[in-house]
């Protein structure tokens, strides 16, 4: 499991920017419906084949983060609009 801390506090704008960056840089993602938890945390799940990516704007954890079954950094290695791993 690969984990990436994106922002050390919940931030909806950064959450959506992270989702957009993943969709732009990783072709073939299948996007699940956006989930909203009881505390208004947002969770976006993607699948790339059988591999899962979870983007969360978590009020419980107090951060925006990404969990992935595979390393995402190579997809962003040469781009300046990198949001992941800020």
pLDDT tens profile 9-20 = 999 999 999 999
- CB-based contacts of 74: which residues, under 8 Å, 6+ apart? none
According to DSSP, the residues that pair with 5 across neighbouring strands are 65
**pTM value?**
0.87
Burial class (CB in 10 A: 0-12, 13-18, 19+), 12: exposed
> Band of the pLDDT at 86, cuts 50, 70, 90?
very low
Q: Torsions phi, psi of 65, nearest 5? A: -145, 165
Burial class (CB in 10 A: 0-12, 13-18, 19+), 70: middle
According to DSSP, the residues that pair with 7 across neighbouring strands are 64
pLDDT tens profile 39-59 = 999 999 999 999 999 999 999
Q: Give the pLDDT score at 83.
A: 55
């Amino acid at each position: 499991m690969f984990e990436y801390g994106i922002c050390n506090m919940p931030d909806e704008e950064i959450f959506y920017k992270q989702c957009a960056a993943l969709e732009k840089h990783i072709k073939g993602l299948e996007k699940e419906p956006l989930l909203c938890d009881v505390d208004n945390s947002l969770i976006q799940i993607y699948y790339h084949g059988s591999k899962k990516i979870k983007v969360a704007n978590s009020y419980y954890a107090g951060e925006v983060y990404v969990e992935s079954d595979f390393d995402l950094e190579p997809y962003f290695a040469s781009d300046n609009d990198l949001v992941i791993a800020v």
